[in-house]
A and B are shown apart, each in its own frame.
Chain A
Amino acid sequence: MPSSTSNFKRILRLPRLFFRTPTEAESVHGGPPLEFERPIPQIPWRGMTVVVVLVVIGAALAWEFYCRSIGYGPTLNDNEDLWTITRQRVRPESVVIIGDSRGWFDLDLDELQKGLGIRPVQLAMGGGCGYPVLADLADDKTFHGTIICSFVPRLFFAPPGTPPMERGEKAVRRSHTQTPAQQASQYIAMPLEERVAPRLPPYFGTLDRERRARMIEQCARPGSELQKRIQQIWLPLFTPPPPPSYVPKDVFMAKMKDAIETRFRDTVRAVEKLRARGGKIVFVRLPVSGGLKALEDQTTPRKQTWDPLLQGTRAPGIYFEDFPELASFNCPEWSHLSAGDSVEFSKRLVPHLRAALGM
């Protein structure tokens, strides 16, 4: 015990066993005497606990009311465990959606199920690169189904070590290492998140247990403040970062070029591996609007990204701008379709998917 023990004897009510020698019964273990017991502060515990419980419940309720008053609502958190649970639903013949958040928001599972005859499994990731998931499915010898890969060049070609790539890698890693405790936590968390846990900003969509995302009404409303705020989030995110100060520009650019070429090669390899088992893949360029479209067209032009990807992989692709019925949609916050539009868009996309996949 620390030397302050004697102070405790004065200040605190010491437990009965504090300094006594062990009884006969206790010497079964023959251990040292029970000279250690933690001192317990003698304060009015019951009253304090009641106050703490009331304050915490009150604060949680106040936070919930506040969040709802500013338009926030409950939604599932998209984490690696939810992704892993969804990944476990993939069967050998499954149709799997991979890629980024446009695959999440823009593709309606009900419509795709109606059109394709099978309900897709949603494995796309917000702000994520689809490549790690593609590689994982290509390495999964049991899988010979169909992949619908949403393609956003800046995310798909994100080099190793960057957040989009790490997001995908972390999810895949978790799917191979998820512990029973992590899985249980996810199942316990979901009912809570669906009812009482508002997300922290930016909140503009909801996610369900199938990982289908829907844009909230407030964001889809033309000219809303939230819509404008979200639009401004995309621009810096999709603007190429300046080279780091400690690497000469030409060295950095050469490294980036090399990383992109490597990703092309790896993607081709993964697609061939999948195809060798009878699997199929279709790349989909989903709608983008406004300032973000201009930025993407400028920094990642179709000729340098989409076209070589399809040529290299010899895979079919659907570019929304190639089809008037797909190009007529507007993304309210520039990057994703509204919940209502996503249903109609998916309905119109189905014939193109069937044609591309030879269904």
Chain B
Amino acid sequence: MLFNSLTFVVFFVVVVTAYWSIHSWTARKNLLVTASYIFYGAWNPPFAALLFSTTAMDFWLGRQIAKAKGSSRRAWLVASVCMNLSMLGFFKYGNFLLENFQWLLARIGIIYHPPHLDILLPVGISFYTFHSLSYTLDIYRGVLQPTRSLRDFILAVSFFPQLVAGPIVRAGDFLPQLVRPPALRIGQFMWGLLLMTLGLFEKIVLADTMLAGSADRIFGYAGPLVALDSWLGVIAFGSQIFFDFAGYSTCAIGAALCLGFHLKDNFRFPYAAIGFSDFWRRWHISLSTFLRDYLYIPLGGNRVGWTRAAINLVIVMFLGGLWHGAAWTFVVWGLLHGFYLVIEHASRALVGEQAWTDNFAVKLLLGFVTYGAVCLAWVFFRASDFTIATRMLRGMFGGYPHGDAILATREILQIGIVTFFMMLAHWSLRETNVETAVTRLPRWVVTAAWALMACAIILTQGSSNAFIYFQF
């Protein structure tokens, strides 16, 4: 079920009404579990069984980890990690691994034709696997006790606002919220609705209507493009993916608030980041902190030597890239970000904290360098193969001075205006957040913006395009 679909509107109204009408907290939680499984099963009912089985296994493994002593604790954790990652590996990377195995064999002269596995990727598997995995990892780390309630754990993993495209909510952040029933607060409820409006506006109006067409046309064009069109295509995609994914996260946070639950921010104005560490503190925060806590730090983090820390960064970003999709283009995207982070760490080590870097103009410059490098990496994220990526990069750096210019003036204006206002908003709010901004803005501005966003959503009549992150 997509947030930007009529089915979800009806579903949400029914669930919210029933949820707040029921007095019993147990019954409310049961309702949320049922609703979450309907939400998920509405894509493909059999996959709900897969979701349940991984959840039930992790619930049981969590208890085993807590009970076990010594090396068997580690063995139970390994079982949980293997179970989750093999599930992810089979559904998401099965064909990718086979194809690469075939390629490798061909290099040494062995011709092997593996059967193409007709595997349907369960929607959101990358997200709910991480929701579930965080539980056993945290129990092993000793920061979480296993819950006694299977129902509560099922809800923590499958809570429908976050289930299929994040944010990646750790069981440790969600389970404590299931202890006591939240009270219905009108401000919280309305703020949730406003966030949902904002998220849908970002997705339907900005990402789908204003930007997706231009980005698709540029990346789908088979010929050489002039530098302006190439850059505009990449910039359009950079803005599109932000509005698409941040829009989903904002909707998820809003929907959870309407039900009395609190999810953390997943985006914090990332295009105003100064440097790449800062970018990853602002972009897909739930994934970057997951990788930091469960991968980077266990690998030694930055407590080890400089070289080892750099290797750790690259490994983390390599896997982060692969998490996004079973393709080498995603790996290159991840490695590029790993490379950026290494360069940044090296620069910091060389230059240190200089007073001149605290200057606004320097920050702005560094911010734009960061944005430019992030856009460069988006080329690999969006291109479906390296031929397209190479052509795009060549176009961006003036490789086709007599290439084609295919964007109409209207499209150029759309990309320019939307991206300009997005950057303005990110830089204005980079030290604060939406809540503060809304509190400080005149009431009529907030009211008008809310109404305008709602009207724009209705009038553009979104065509229910799936969110980009669903495929991950």
Task: Enumerate chain A interface residues (CB-CB to B < 8 A).
Answer: 2, 4, 7-8, 11-12, 22, 25-34, 36-46, 48-49, 51-52, 55-56, 59-60, 63, 79, 179-182, 184-185, 188-189, 192, 197, 200, 244-247
B16 within 8 A of A: no
Residue from B5, B180, B223 in contact with A245 in the complex, judged by beta carbons closer than 8 Å? B223
B368 within 8 A of A: no
Instruction: Assign chain B's interface to a size class.
Output: 35 or more
* CA A258 to CA B44, docked complex, whole Å: 39
A62 to chain B, nearest CB (A): 10
Residue from A25, A28, A39, A180 in contact with B435 in the complex, judged by beta carbons closer than 8 Å? A39
* CA A179 to CA B144, docked complex, whole Å: 37
* CA A48 to CA B442, docked complex, whole Å: 12
Given contacts A42-B439, A245-B404, contact A181 B455 (CB under 8 A): no
Report whether B455 and A59 are in contact in the complex, using a CB–CB cutoff of 8 Å: yes
B359 within 8 A of A: no
* CA A34 to CA B175, docked complex, whole Å: 10
The interface stretch among B312-320, B335-343, B407-415, B458-466 is: B458-466
Could you give 20 example pairs across A and B, Cβ below 8 Å?
A: A2-B265, A11-B440, A12-B439, A22-B176, A29-B152, A31-B173, A36-B173, A40-B188, A45-B187, A46-B190, A49-B190, A52-B447, A52-B450, A56-B454, A56-B458, A60-B458, A180-B45, A182-B5, A244-B222, A245-B223
B95 within 8 A of A: no
B399 within 8 A of A: no
Q: Which of B242-276 contact A (CB under 8 A)?
A: 253, 257, 262-265, 268
Residue from A26, A28, A45 in contact with B191 in the complex, judged by beta carbons closer than 8 Å? A45
Cβ of B6: which chain A residues have Cβ within 8 Å of it? 185, 188-189, 192
B186 within 8 A of A: yes
Report whether B451 and A55 are in contact in the complex, using a CB–CB cutoff of 8 Å: yes
B53 within 8 A of A: no
B44 to chain A, nearest CB (A): 6
A-B contact count (CB 8 A): 156
B43 within 8 A of A: yes
Report whether A246 and B223 are in contact in the complex, using a CB–CB cutoff of 8 Å: yes
B311 within 8 A of A: no
Report whether A184 and B42 are in contact in the complex, using a CB–CB cutoff of 8 Å: yes
* CA A12 to CA B440, docked complex, whole Å: 10
Cβ of B45: which chain A residues have Cβ within 8 Å of it? 180
Cβ of B463: which chain A residues have Cβ within 8 Å of it? 79
Residue from A12, A26, A42, A200 in contact with B176 in the complex, judged by beta carbons closer than 8 Å? A26
Report whether B43 and A179 are in contact in the complex, using a CB–CB cutoff of 8 Å: yes
Residue from A28, A31, A37, A179 in contact with B42 in the complex, judged by beta carbons closer than 8 Å? A179
**B354-387 vs A, Cβ < 8 Å mask (1 yes, 0 no):** 0000000000000000000000000000000000
Q: Which of B432-461 contact A (CB under 8 A)?
A: 432-433, 435-436, 438-440, 443, 446-447, 450-451, 454-455, 458-459, 461
> 3 closest Cβ contacts across the A-B interface?
A30-B145, A246-B223, A181-B42
Given contacts A26-B176, A29-B179, A31-B145, contact A38 B435 (CB under 8 A): yes
